[in-house]
Amino acid sequence: MGSLYLDHNATTPVEPRVVAAMMPWFERAGNAASLHELGRRGREAVETARDQVAALLGAAPPEIVFTASGTEANNAVVQTVADTHSDGHLVISAFEHPSILAAAARLEERGFAVSRVAPEPSGRVMPEAVAAQLRRDTRLVCLMLANNEIGSVQPVAEVAALAQARGARVLCDAVQAVGKIPFTVGELGVDYLTIGAHKFYGPLGAAALWIGRGVEFSPLLVGGSHERHRRAGTLNVPAIVGFGAAAALVDEELAAWSDHMLEVRDRFEAGLASIGETRVHAAAVPRLPNTSNVAFLGVDAEALMVRLDLRGFAVSTGSACSSGVVEMSETMKALGVDENEAVASLRISFGKDSTGAGVEALLTALREEVAALRELGAEGASV
Amino acid sequence: MSGRVAVAMSGGVDSSVVAWLLSREDPSVIGLSMLLWDRSQENTHGRCCGALDLGDARRVAQQCGIAHYTLKMADDFRRYVVDPFVDDYLAGRTPVPCTRCNTFIKFDLFLERARAFGVDTIATGHYARIVAGAEGWELHQARTIDKDQSYYLFELTQAQLAASRFPLGDMDKERVRELAREAELLVAEKAESMELCFVAGGIKDFVEAQAGAAPERFAVPVTAASSLVDSGGTELGRGEPYYRYTVGQRRGLGLTAPSPLYVLAIEPEENRVVVGGAEELRLPGLIGERLHWIGRPPVGPIEATVRIRSRHPGVCSLVTPLAEDGLVRVEFATAQRGVAPGQAAVFYDGTRVLGGCWIQQATPA
């Protein structure tokens, strides 16, 4: 069954070693903010996790703020602009995660200007295109490290250098990149960076915002001195411990995981030839080793997703055709993908435990279901 | 074709019991729900399309151990059901949106969408029966007449009946509740929805709000007070705008008269509502349009029991298809009250639904 789970960009199963690290912290009382023995032990566990997360990012532990989700961390950074400036401008890529798109739109309603930079159809945002939007009053530039739907890796370091030269801060949403490609905050040169544990075999409910030294930040949640006044709220000790354990695993095993996923993914994409009429998105640009977003031309991907689900395969669609109206994902829209191709696109995201046998099973199922849907489509068209 | 069965799940007790019954026989059954009317802002419970009801449907599917998906069909529903519903009121007719929903949505577009999932049969919680007859599929009333919904299904075709199952057609409501309780379905005690699924308050307020919100889509309603006249054309008083009245209505006319007055006709062009006594409301027949036969169309006139609204007991009638396409004349054996344009006239032979038509106009006395 495990080999049939092919939606790792949505979330990953928690690694047994991570579960083992977390278990004791469910059973123990002890608020990490309390001064007694149990509290101190909880606090120590949190600080160990902070060290692990910081080590993974090449950062200093005090620069890490634990949050409950990547969405929270992204929201907090965008909101910081509104809290520290009365007006100004933001530049974001047009296919950022909704937690940035929506937070920026909210600032726009309050009078801030927002420029949305479309990626090239290849899947990559051009640094010059971002540079062209920068203004004297640009406060923040947001660019994800890797797109969640098509997996294209973005030129974050180049964009960061250009933006900072114009006095803007840079937020990098790196949620999809961790556990798939190596990077450090130093290499990227950004001011804020977001990651979330559940995308790399850690638990749900634990994420982190890295804030560069001396960079302004205004907390989203207030009401306690937790996280050095940057994020109030009782710390979720078991989840944070699991987060740290998962980060340590990535630190050790990333190269092996990444090689393995790439091999599995390449095998899958080579097998697409036997289905015919397919197109892989972002195939010509640097891409996460686990992500394959494929348009099966002439097929309604939502129906394909359901048919695969009924056979036990978990994959996902970015766009759906409902009521004859195509609901395109922001990513597909931003890429300028045509509607027919968008509704035919299915995202398969492999994991470190995906297998060659799983790939073969998926290809067999795809061959059959795609053929069935193309036949239905042909019948429908001839009526 | 894989021959998969999908249960159309509204989140109500009826379709939930269908899902439970079928999932016992065949674990490959799936549940499908339709998001027909996006009322996520309204947060009301107990109507068939609210987000909460879709949540109930999903949870019941989980209880049954079957896969469940929601199809977004709000644009179709607006186009084929809600807009024509508003149009009808503005044209002085009394629509039957549930029939249109069955005809255009559930047994057409929904079935078509389901086919893409490998489904070839849909099961619903309708109280009616599909019977294999000598000359094809027959639609019959439910065993329990007071739950019967066959009136709303008269436009179904042979192909649709062949692809549909109504597992509750032989059951009464108590048995359905009992089954829901035995299965411990979380909707076992859920209240019945008696109103239209897309209307939260009064129908006439809804019509006004819809027409007002999208004036480009509808002929602008006359919001002026209508003129209440008798059948001779004499004005008896001023009333609300015409579309707030329904043929056969007695209450709320605001007129004083020695004997009760009823709405006889609605004349949108003149913003006029014709009222009269009970004797004037009784009419000998009707002209119907968009005639439909479930089985083979009869040659020449036939006798049938005709129901002219969902709760009408039925009247023995002579049904004569007219030369002009889709038109039909229905002559009642005894005059009937409340022949309302826009309602369906459905023809029965015993429990069997032969077909029906949409009332275009009443035959004058």
DSSP-assigned letters across all residues of A167-225:
T-EEEEE-TTTTTTS---HHHHT-SEEEEEGGGTT--TT-EEEEE-TT-----SS-SS-
Per annotation, catalytic residue among B48, B49, B98, B101:
B101
pLDDT band at B50; cut points 50, 70, 90 = low
Question: Residue B67 corresponds to which tokens in the numbers above?
Answer: 């896969």
Q: Please answer yes or no on whether A300 and B116 come within 8 Å at the CB atom.
A: yes
Q: Each residue of A175-225: pLDDT tens digit?
A: 999 999 999 999 999 999 999 999 999 999 999 999 999 999 999 999 988
Scanning the structure block, which residue is given the tokens 């035959």?
B363
Q: Each residue of B202-238: pLDDT tens digit?
A: 888 899 888 888 888 877 667 788 999 999 999 999 9
- Contact residues of A toward B, CB < 8 A: 300, 303, 306-307, 309-310, 320, 322-325, 327, 372-373, 376, 380
Q: Please answer yes or no on whether A373 and B116 come within 8 Å at the CB atom.
A: yes
Question: Residue A166 corresponds to which tokens in the numbers above?
Answer: 């114009």
Q: Quote the CA–CA distance of A96 and A141 in Å, as a whole number.
A: 11
Q: Please answer yes or no on whether A376 and B76 come within 8 Å at the CB atom.
A: no
Q: Distance from A383 to chain B by nearest Cα, in Å?
A: 13
Per annotation, catalytic residue among A82, A163, A321, A373:
A321
Considering only alpha carbons, which residue of chain A is nearest residue B80?
A323
Q: Please answer yes or no on whether A322 and B73 come within 8 Å at the CB atom.
A: yes
User: Which SS3 state, helix, strand or coil, does residue B295 take?
Assistant: coil
Radius of gyration of chain B (CA): 22
- Residue A94 CB partners (closer than 8 Å, separation 6+): A116, A117, A118, A119, A330, A333, A334
Q: Distance from B76 to chain A by nearest Cα, in Å?
A: 6
Q: Quote the CA–CA distance of B355 and B154 in Å, as a whole number.
A: 5
Per annotation, catalytic residue among B64, B197, B316, B357:
B197
pLDDT value at residue B257: 83
Beta bridge partners of A107: none
CB atoms within 10 A of CB B269: 9
Q: Each residue of B68-119: pLDDT tens digit?
A: 999 989 899 999 999 999 999 999 999 999 999 999 999 999 999 999 999 9
Cα angle: B182, vertex B183, B186; to 5 degrees: 110
| Mutation choice for A interface testing from B23, B115, B117 by most A CBs within 10 A | B117
Considering only alpha carbons, which residue of chain A is nearest residue B71?
A322
Q: Distance from B266 to chain A by nearest Cα, in Å?
A: 35
User: What pTM, to 2 d.p., does this model score?
Assistant: 0.89
Q: Quote the CA–CA distance of A90 and A78 in Å, as a whole number.
A: 9
Q: Quote the CA–CA distance of A189 and A158 in Å, as a whole number.
A: 9
- From the list A310, A320, A324, the residue facing B30 with the nearest CB is A310
Q: Please answer yes or no on whether B72 and A306 come within 8 Å at the CB atom.
A: no
Per-residue pLDDT of chain A (383 residues; tens, 9 = 90+): 456 999 999 999 999 999 999 999 998 877 888 888 888 899 999 999 999 999 999 999 999 999 999 999 999 999 999 999 999 999 999 999 999 999 999 999 999 999 999 999 999 999 999 999 999 999 999 999 999 999 999 999 999 999 999 999 999 999 999 999 999 999 999 999 999 999 999 999 999 999 999 999 999 999 988 899 999 999 999 999 999 999 999 999 999 999 999 999 999 999 999 999 999 999 999 999 999 999 999 999 999 999 999 999 999 997 766 666 677 888 999 999 999 999 999 999 999 999 999 999 999 999 999 999 999 988 765 54
Helix (H) or strand (E) holding B71: strand B67-72
Could you tell me how far CA A9 lies from the centroid of its own chain?
Answer: 7
B70 interfacial to chain A (CB closer than 8 Å) = no
Taking residues B252-261, what's their average pLDDT? 85
Q: Please answer yes or no on whether B118 and A323 come within 8 Å at the CB atom.
A: no
User: Which SS3 state, helix, strand or coil, does residue B239 take?
Assistant: strand
User: Which SS3 state, helix, strand or coil, does residue A335 take?
Assistant: helix
Q: Yes or no: say if B297 and B321 are a contact pair by the CB < 8 Å rule.
A: yes
Considering only alpha carbons, which residue of chain B is nearest residue A308?
B117
Q: Quote the CA–CA distance of B181 and B187 in Å, as a whole number.
A: 9
pLDDT band at B255; cut points 50, 70, 90 = confident
- From the list A303, A323, A380, the residue facing B76 with the nearest CB is A323
B75 interfacial to chain A (CB closer than 8 Å) = yes
CA distances from A290 to A181, A269, B236, B322 (A): 10, 11, 78, 67
B30 interfacial to chain A (CB closer than 8 Å) = yes
Q: Quote the CA–CA distance of A35 and A55 in Å, as a whole number.
A: 27
Nearest to B20 by CA among B98, B125, B141: B125
pLDDT value at residue B51: 62
Q: Quote the CA–CA distance of B225 and B254 in Å, as a whole number.
A: 13
Q: Distance from A105 to chain B by nearest Cα, in Å?
A: 20
Is B64 annotated in the active site?
A: no
Radius of gyration of chain A (CA): 22
Q: Quote the CA–CA distance of B228 and B115 in Å, as a whole number.
A: 51
Q: Please answer yes or no on whether A307 and B118 come within 8 Å at the CB atom.
A: yes
Q: Please answer yes or no on whether A320 and B72 come within 8 Å at the CB atom.
A: yes
Q: Please answer yes or no on whether A303 and B117 come within 8 Å at the CB atom.
A: yes
Q: Quote the CA–CA distance of A228 and A62 in Å, as a whole number.
A: 9
CB atoms within 10 A of CB A139: 23
Domains of chain B, CATH where assigned: 4-182 (3.40.50.620), 222-276 (2.30.30.280), 282-363 (2.40.30.10)
Considering only alpha carbons, which residue of chain A is nearest residue B2?
A372
Q: Please answer yes or no on whether B72 and A327 come within 8 Å at the CB atom.
A: yes
Question: Residue A134 corresponds to which tokens in the numbers above?
Answer: 């920068």
Kindly list the residues from chain B whose CB atom is less than 8 angstroms away from the CB atom of residue A372.
118
**ipTM for the whole complex:** 0.85
Helix %, strand %, coil % for chain B, to 5?
A: 30, 30, 40
Considering only alpha carbons, which residue of chain B is nearest residue A300?
B116
pLDDT value at residue A162: 98
pLDDT value at residue A36: 86
Could you tell me how far CA B99 lies from the centroid of its own chain?
Answer: 3
Q: Quote the CA–CA distance of A318 and A329 in Å, as a whole number.
A: 5
Kindly list the residues from chain A whose CB atom is less than 8 angstroms away from the CB atom of residue B115.
376
Q: Quote the CA–CA distance of B330 and B302 in Å, as a whole number.
A: 10
Considering only alpha carbons, which residue of chain A is nearest residue B72?
A322
Q: Distance from B6 to chain A by nearest Cα, in Å?
A: 12
Q: A174-189 burial, b if ≥16 CB within 10 A, otherwise e?
A: bbbbbbbbebebeebb
Domains of chain A, CATH where assigned: 2-10+253-382 (3.90.1150.10), 16-250 (3.40.640.10)
- From the list A306, A322, A325, the residue facing B117 with the nearest CB is A306
pLDDT value at residue B44: 45
User: Which SS3 state, helix, strand or coil, does residue B25 take?
Assistant: helix
| Mutation choice for A interface testing from B69, B81, B111 by most A CBs within 10 A | B69
Biggest CA-to-CA distance, chain B: 67
Provide the residue type at B283 as one letter.
L
- Residue A324 CB partners (closer than 8 Å, separation 6+): B75, B76
Kindly report the backbone phi and psi dihedral angles of residue B240, in degrees, each rounded to the nearest multiple of 5, phi listed first: -75, 170
